[in-house]
Amino acid sequence: MHVLRTLAAGLLAAVTMASPALAVTCTVNSSDGLNIRSEATTNSSIVAVMSNGSTMELLDTSNPYWFQISYNGYTGYVSTEYIKVNRESYRVVDGPLNIRSGPGASYELLGTLAQDEVVEVIGESNGWYQIAQGYIHGDYVEKVTAQAASTSSSSSGSDIADYALQFKGYSYTYGGSSPSAGFDCSGLVYYVCSQLGYTVNRTATSQMSNGTSVSKDQLQPGDLVFFNSVSSTGASHVGIYIGDNQFVHASTPTVGVVVSKLSEPFFTKYYVGAQRL
């Protein structure tokens, strides 16, 4: 428990200059540029237009389809399908570390992070870092390099694969992203990853910008595998690699969530790549 240290950190913050906020940014990933909308809908007015590669600050990521952002003095909403989030990885240096529902020690305790566990930070508020599961205090984590963060990817990837496998046999529902509602392909990926502390986009095409690209002969459990049978770009389907040339995915309304082999003719023909979170 870190109650006394957290209280002490709060008192210290009251009498010293606050540390600068941790700016979480994202980059436009669309050759056609990206519209900033006044509301989280394509029916709202266009506030500004950003070119491909433009960087903006994330303000609110609670809507998986639309993020609130700030860009060159403009504030508005952008579709998550056309952006790539630039995240920072942190390691727990004093664990177990409490996860709170909000940025403060008085908020509900949601769980804990283990010593040396690595998480991605997606926001900051008064010394509390926002992660996918909630908030953790910044005093008990340290920033790690991309290389150090990737060192733990193999074991955490196995966690992703194992967690996803428990949903084998669940129903397929277009637009679904929960066990109760059912899953579509990207909804299964989105739910599994969010439950394990990873932040990913919501659609198959936009999930191709999450993580780091890996070749097919280097696949590890937990890697996201992508297929495209309908267009020349992006992805029309996604699953989670589980090892032994197999992956779990929300396939069709007829069969639901199943395990398939990458060597099956359809998946061999339409395979377009893989990403490691």
Active site residue ranges: 185, 237, 249
Hey, how many other C-beta atoms are within 10 angstroms of the C-beta on 16? 8
- CA–CA separation, 69 vs 243, rounded Å? 38
- Cα-flanking dihedrals φ and ψ of residue 11, to 5°? -65, -40
Place of tokens 């630039």: 86
- Amino acid, res. 125: S
- Amino acid, res. 251: S
> Across the chain, how many H-helices and E-strands are there?
6, 23
CA dihedral 6, 100, 211, 194 (to 10 degrees): 170
CA dihedral 30, 187, 164, 222 (to 10 degrees): 0
- Cα-flanking dihedrals φ and ψ of residue 206, to 5°? -70, -25
Beta pairing partners, 48: 36
* 3-state SS assignment for residue 187: helix
Residue 235 CA, distance from chain mean position: 17
Beta pairing partners, 107: none
- The two tokens of residue 277 are 């979170």
